[in-house]
Amino acid sequence: MKLMMILLAGLSSTAVFASQCGLQLQQDLTVSPSQISLQQGPQQLWRMDTQGRLWQQSQPVAVSQPQQQLLQRYQQQLRSQVTASAALMDDSLQLARTVLDQNLQQSTGQGLNRYPQVQTVVQQLEQQLNQIVERKDSSIYVYGSQLAAVDHNLAQDAEQKIQQAMLKISSQMMLTLGQQALQGNGTAAEKMQRFSNGVGQFSNKLKADLKSGSAPLQQRGQQICQQLQQLDQLESQIQQQIPALSGLDLIDGTSAGFKAGL
């Protein structure tokens, strides 16, 4: 079960971790409709607005018109990709909840809200992701400074959490289906066959629904990765042409996952 590959697509290593690209952050990135900024603690390192104007440590930086056009393109594309990635993460978590709830409803007549242990696992994963990416009002915050406090093996940890949820569902499902089978008519062998069929049908349908629901999310993740790779090239131009941003390196088009260093 590779649902974690979808849950972390985009801001981690993109579509189902098949491709290699991502954001590498040590500081905190804020993306708002009017500007993009990078902060280290209370200190703002730099910010750029929608017109391509640049400030470094709250002081304006003089740039030429071609340089300003580069910055305008960069902030626009970075905003677009961070927004798309945050939306992909939200939709992936919603897919997990929806598929689990629907399958539990169909198999047991009870939704996900009747399985608090499973809900807890999904909520823990969501809380962990929110330590890194958070949406407030119209702004998106990517907390690079929090990466040290979050398990660097985030993908592996996410997979373990999903597997825990699936194990808990499986054990509770077996208990529920076993009770249903025993209450029915027929011989002991027939009841055991009904129980086996019920468990198999639940598992197969859950996998099929996850695969079907994840397909468009995977496509979106792949598009984000491709666009991040293009943005990495633009970032390289800025490094070379604007001395104040020679150390700018938010996009990593060669390595998977979040990067703790700049």
d(CA 119, CA 208): 21
What is the pLDDT, as a whole number, of residue 258?
36
What is the pLDDT, as a whole number, of residue 166?
60
Whether the CB-CB separation of 11 and 82 falls below 8 Å is answered with: yes
**pLDDT, one tens digit for every residue, the chain (262 residues):** 333 333 443 333 333 333 446 677 778 999 999 999 999 888 999 999 999 999 999 999 999 999 999 999 999 999 999 998 888 888 888 887 888 788 778 777 778 787 777 777 778 778 877 888 888 989 999 988 776 566 555 556 655 665 666 666 666 666 665 665 556 666 666 656 655 665 566 667 777 887 788 888 888 888 888 888 889 999 999 999 999 999 888 886 554 433 332 2
Phi, then psi, of 123 in degrees rounded to 5: -65, -35
Whether the CB-CB separation of 22 and 137 falls below 8 Å is answered with: no
Name which of 226, 175, 232 is nearest 198 in CA terms.
175
